[in-house]
């Protein structure tokens, strides 16, 4: 079992960590950013629909499933897919990956605002401040990992917008626990998200271009190995091991993004990225450990 667990951690981390590299490679291959997001969403929806049909499932259009699925499709798929893809035009995979690591902090902050039973504690605030100090230093350095071709401020704004959208979706979905069926909203989310991203693509970019063979390889990789497989493995890990060990995927992914970007795309690990990234990850780990201490104390009490 231990070998399977570590294999799942490594594969999930590799999938999440190489998302930025595959996205930037697809952009370099001539796939427009919104078309990239639309095709990726469509392929994921097709795969999920095929699995749903294979298991002889039937979509139940209850109010809970539809409302939660549509909100997830908008805030957990449409906005993040588009904003992340746009961000990769202005910064390296490693740079964006460090900002993605802020998601647990974004969820903690959003939960404090939206949920009465998850207030911020001093330890969480300390972790937030440490991480945002890292963000400030990273932006002040002007380093994007792309040299003069990058725009770190614009990339940061786009990425933080995506993180805020994902954090809102996570807390909203958690607040509606018991009103929906997870398998149902996953399919509704991807179908609705595909339609919305597709409409946005036609409005701003027109019809998608004909992809090269390499372009299709990258799109399939993004769909299967950067979206569906890591998500499945993450939930499998949660059912087999502690959440502490599962959290290793979140700690390893930014490091994989940095290394993969350097090795595969010739990106640069600049000093601002190293120092700012270290503070961001330290803040994330600090906050994560504080939440786990609170959970253990609650169970003990």
**What integer pLDDT is reported at residue 235 of this predicted model?**
64
pLDDT of residue 66: 87
Residue 79 pLDDT = 96
Taking the domains of the chain in order of start, what are their residue ranges? Answer: 2-300
Q: How far is CA 235 from CA 14, 92, 230, 239, 252, in A?
A: 16, 28, 9, 6, 17
Residues 6+ apart with CB under 8 A from 61: none
Burial degree of 58 (CB within 10 A; 0-12, 13-18, 19+): exposed
Q: pTM for this one?
A: 0.88
Q: What are the φ and ψ backbone dihedral angles of 225, each rounded to 5 degrees?
A: -100, -15
Torsion of CA 238, 242, 248, 253, to 10 degrees: 10
pLDDT of residue 196: 95
User: How many whole angstroms separate alpha carbon 92 and alpha carbon 1?
Assistant: 36
Tens-digit pLDDT string for the chain (301 aa)? 578 888 888 998 899 899 999 999 999 999 999 999 999 999 999 998 888 888 777 777 788 888 888 998 999 899 999 999 999 999 999 999 998 888 888 888 888 888 877 788 888 888 889 998 999 998 999 999 998 888 999 999 999 999 999 989 888 888 887 887 777 778 888 899 999 999 999 999 999 889 999 999 999 999 999 988 888 887 677 667 665 566 677 778 888 999 999 999 989 888 899 999 999 988 888 887 777 777 676 677 6
The interaxial angle of helices 79-87 and 19-28, nearest 10 deg, is 70
Distances (CA, A) of 98 to 21, 76, 202: 13, 19, 31
Sign of CA dihedral 74, 76, 81, 84: positive
Burial class (CB in 10 A: 0-12, 13-18, 19+), 7: exposed
């Amino acid at each position: 079992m231990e070998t399977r667990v570590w294999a799942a951690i490594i594969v999930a981390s590799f999938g999440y960590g190489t998302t930025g590299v595959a996205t930037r490679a697809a952009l370099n291959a001539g796939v427009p950013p919104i078309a990239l997001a639309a095709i990726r969403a469509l392929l994921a929806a097709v795969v999920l629909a095929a699995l749903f049909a294979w298991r002889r499932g039937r979509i139940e259009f209850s109010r809970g499933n539809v409302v939660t699925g549509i909100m997830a499709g908008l805030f957990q798929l449409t906005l993040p897919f588009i904003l992340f893809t746009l961000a990769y035009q202005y910064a390296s995979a490693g740079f964006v990956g460090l900002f993605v690591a802020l998601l647990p902090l974004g969820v903690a902050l959003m939960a404090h605002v939206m949920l009465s039973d998850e207030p911020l504690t001093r330890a969480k605030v300390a972790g937030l401040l440490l991480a945002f100090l890292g963000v400030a230093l990273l932006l002040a350095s002007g380093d994007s990992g792309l040299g003069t071709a990058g725009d770190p401020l614009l990339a940061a704004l786009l990425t933080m917008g995506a993180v805020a959208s994902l954090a809102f979706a996570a807390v909203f979905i958690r607040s509606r626990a018991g009103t929906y069926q997870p398998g149902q909203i996953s399919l509704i989310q991807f179908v609705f998200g595909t339609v919305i991203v597709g409409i946005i693509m036609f409005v701003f970019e027109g019809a998608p271009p004909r992809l090269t063979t390499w372009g299709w390889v990258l799109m399939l990789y993004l769909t299967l190995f950067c979206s569906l497989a890591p998500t499945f493995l993450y939930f499998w890990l949660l059912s087999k091991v502690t959440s502490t060990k599962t959290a290793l995927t979140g700690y390893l992914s930014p490091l994989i993004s940095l290394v993969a970007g350097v090795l595969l795309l010739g990106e640069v690990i600049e000093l601002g990225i190293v120092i700012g990234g270290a503070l961001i990850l330290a803040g994330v780990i600090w906050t994560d450990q504080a939440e786990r201490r609170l959970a253990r104390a609650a169970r003990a009490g």
